[in-house]
Structure 1
Amino acid sequence: MAEVVIYGKPACPHTQKALNAYPEAEFRDVLASSQFLEESLHFSGGQRRIPVILKNGEPSIGFNGGS
């Protein structure tokens, strides 16, 4: 099984879609933790777009064309 981590905001519809698609994912709220925000920006190359999805350590920005 793939290890999935999703960085996002609880109220973001694109984050919610990603969480629904990956129910096993670890969710990291970028609003609740400055560490998670910094990690998200690192993986996104500084882009302030969510969700940032790490699947087996490989980042992708947005979900199904949304962010």
Structure 2
Amino acid sequence: MAKIEIYTKAYCPYCTRAKALLDSKQASYTEHDITMGGQLRTEMIDRAQGRSTVPQVFIDGRHIGGSDDLAALDRAGGLDPLLAQ
């Protein structure tokens, strides 16, 4: 099964939407809450090539992007194959 990581903040509707999509696929993921900033936020920005908005989603170390990027990947049929790995 794919290793999924998602960086989120509290009360973020885009984070909720991305997690709901992953939940609908019954995909397990590790959530990194960066609400308070700190080292995890810095890590996310580094991994996401400077992107500082949340969520930021990674599948098997590959940067997928935010909620809209995740949804677009799913609509294009590219999400399920990544999750099946």
Report the TM-score, using the length of structure 2 for normalisation.
Answer: 0.67
Are the aligned partners of 1:8 and 1:50 in contact in 2 as well (CA < 8 Å)? yes
- Give the match for residue 2 of structure 1: 2
Shifted more, 52-61 versus 17-26: the winner is: 17-26
Cα pair 1:49 1:61 within 8 Å, conserved: no
Which structure carries more helix by proportion? 2
Are the aligned partners of 1:5 and 1:54 in contact in 2 as well (CA < 8 Å)?
Answer: yes
Residues 1:16 and 2:16 aligned together: yes
Matched residues, number: 66
For structure 1, list consecutive stretches of 5 or more residues without a partner in the other structure: none
Unaligned runs of 5+ in 2: 70-85
Q: Secondary structure at the match of 2:68?
A: coil
* Higher CA-based Rg: 2
Distance in 1 (alpha carbons) for counterparts of 2:34 and 2:67: 16
Structure with the larger strand share: 1
> Quick one: which of 24, 37, 42 aligns to 1:38?
42
Structure 1 runs of 4+ aligned residues shifted over 2 Å read none
Cα distance in 2 between the residues matched to 1:49 and 1:11 = 13
Q: CA deviation at 1:64?
A: 2.2
Percent identity, please. Answer: 23
Q: Does 1:64 align with 2:49?
A: no
| CA RMSD across the alignment | 1.8
- Paired with 1:2 and 1:32, the residues of 2 have a C-alpha distance of 28
